[in-house]
């Protein structure tokens, strides 16, 4: 018997349902009235950084080739008969999948035939089919993909920065791995990773839009297979506080140099709290968002253009505050950014700026509940992080100016930074 709990939010005047399914899977359903489409995502807490792990029954850690999570994602769409994309073509659903640093997700959106499409999703994700012959074929395909991304300036800029910042954490490796690492992948290794991470205790389904709980349960009861729960231990990589290199430059075909500047956070525990994440995102917007003093000065002086952006980049065992953009004078941008950060660290964040940005983030978060894609992905991400979907609202409400200044001074070390540059020869 499945256990169903309704979770409400008075401010939004909205609610969703959290279901502990009898199979052991966690299911979230967020019905949206007057929506014509539906969006479903079936995810596992298994990403590119999970290269060293241990199941509860094992004495020693298992180490697998880099890129295997992404490789597995590609292979799951195949079967002995019709692949999943061909099956979705018959229902009219638009399907996709992605592997990130910390999770792998399979998804579809549709306006009709929701139940048939959900059945396909459950079916192919739960029934892997790997042979040495198909693995070898995929090694060639993904090898080409890796080489292609090595020449993609934006992608290479990020991973060049991560390699410059991180000594040994696997976040420094491309999500797809390397041509060398994927050559070590075998069908047996794929089954080993699948049987470890594709487990009800490590997975969840989130559905939003024109759906009901009975609809989802009808297909879940029919398709979801109970499995024994497994505990997985991930190896926390002890990462030095220092960066590897201060500046790394690569030549690719670009009309203007692309830069990424990262301030590596020294962390002692593998996971950041929701509050730390929310405060860091506020902080970056206050320092260098589109309405900040720094952004307006750099833009008016022609040192940056409107591509300038920020990101709080964090996950299991890593964390950094990143600034990206395009500039012919990237060294000067770094210099100005560091000067500005020193000034703000010394004097503190302006209270008016703090209040304005806090209101903006609050409004943006509320507006995100109009987007069923964002809702479904947030439900999965929140669950894997051990949080509730609505928690960010209460955390955001509670944040003070003191919280922001404390985070600024503890998480950003001016000296502990790297810059990645992609420019024309």
Active site residues: 73
Given a contact cutoff of 8 angstroms between Cβ atoms, the answer to whether 266 and 412 are in contact is no
- Bridge partners (DSSP) of residue 311 are 322
Question: What is d(CA 201, CA 230) in angstroms, rounded to the nearest whole number?
Answer: 7
What dihedral do alpha carbons 160, 97, 201, 377 form, nearest 10°? 80
Output helix, strand, coil percentages for the chain, rounded to the nearest 5.
Answer: 45, 20, 35
Count of residues in the chain: 425
- Residue 386 to residues 229, 238, 271, 369, Cα–Cα distance (Å): 17, 23, 11, 20
Given a contact cutoff of 8 angstroms between Cβ atoms, the answer to whether 149 and 192 are in contact is no
Choose among 248, 353, 215, 352: nearest CA to 295.
353
For residue 208, the tally of other CB atoms under 10 A from its CB is: 28
- Residue 268 to residues 97, 279, 408, Cα–Cα distance (Å): 33, 18, 17
Question: What is d(CA 216, CA 42) in angstroms, rounded to the nearest whole number?
Answer: 12
């Amino acid at each position: 018997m499945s256990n169903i709990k309704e979770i409400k939010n008075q401010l939004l005047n909205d609610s969703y349902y959290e279901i502990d399914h009898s199979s052991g899977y966690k299911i979230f359903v967020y019905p949206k009235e007057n929506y014509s489409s539906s969006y479903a995502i079936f995810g596992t807490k298994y990403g590119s950084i999970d290269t060293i792990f241990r199941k509860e029954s094992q004495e020693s850690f298992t180490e697998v080739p880099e890129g295997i999570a992404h490789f597995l994602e590609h292979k799951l769409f195949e079967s002995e008969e019709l692949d999943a994309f061909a099956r979705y073509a018959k229902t009219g659903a638009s399907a996709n999948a992605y592997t990130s640093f910390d999770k792998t997700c399979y998804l579809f959106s549709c306006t009709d035939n929701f139940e048939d499409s959900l059945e396909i999703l459950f079916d192919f994700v739960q029934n892997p089919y790997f042979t040495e012959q198909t693995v070898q074929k995929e090694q060639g395909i993904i090898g080409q993909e890796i080489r292609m991304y090595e020449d993609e300036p934006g992608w290479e800029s990020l991973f060049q920065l991560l390699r410059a910042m991180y000594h040994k954490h696997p976040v420094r490796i491309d999500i797809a791995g390397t041509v060398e690492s994927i050559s070590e992948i075998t069908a047996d290794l794929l089954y080993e990773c699948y049987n470890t991470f594709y487990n009800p205790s490590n997975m969840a389904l989130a559905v939003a839009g024109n759906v009901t709980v009975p609809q989802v349960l009808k297909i879940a009861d029919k398709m979801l297979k109970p499995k024994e729960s497994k505990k997985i231990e991930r190896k926390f990589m002890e990462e030095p506080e220092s960066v590897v290199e201060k500046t790394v430059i690569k030549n690719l075909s670009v009309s203007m140099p692309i830069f990424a500047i990262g301030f590596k956070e020294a962390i002692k525990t593998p996971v950041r709290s929701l509050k730390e994440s929310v405060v860091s995102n506020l902080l970056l917007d206050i320092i260098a968002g589109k309405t900040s003093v720094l952004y307006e000065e750099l833009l008016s002086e022609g040192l940056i253009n409107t591509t300038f952006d920020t990101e709080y980049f964090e996950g299991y065992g890593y964390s950094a505050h990143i600034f990206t953009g395009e500039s012919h004078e990237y060294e000067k941008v770094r210099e100005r950014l560091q000067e500005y950060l020193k000034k703000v660290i010394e004097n503190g964040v302006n209270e008016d700026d703090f209040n304005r940005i806090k209101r903006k983030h609050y409004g943006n978060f509320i507006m995100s509940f109009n987007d069923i894609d964002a809702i479904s992905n947030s439900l999965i991400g929140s669950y894997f992080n051990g949080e509730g979907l609505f928690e960010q609202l209460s955390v955001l409400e509670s944040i003070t100016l003191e919280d922001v200044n404390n985070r600024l001074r503890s998480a950003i070390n001016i000296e502990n930074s790297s810059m990645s540059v992609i420019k024309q020869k």
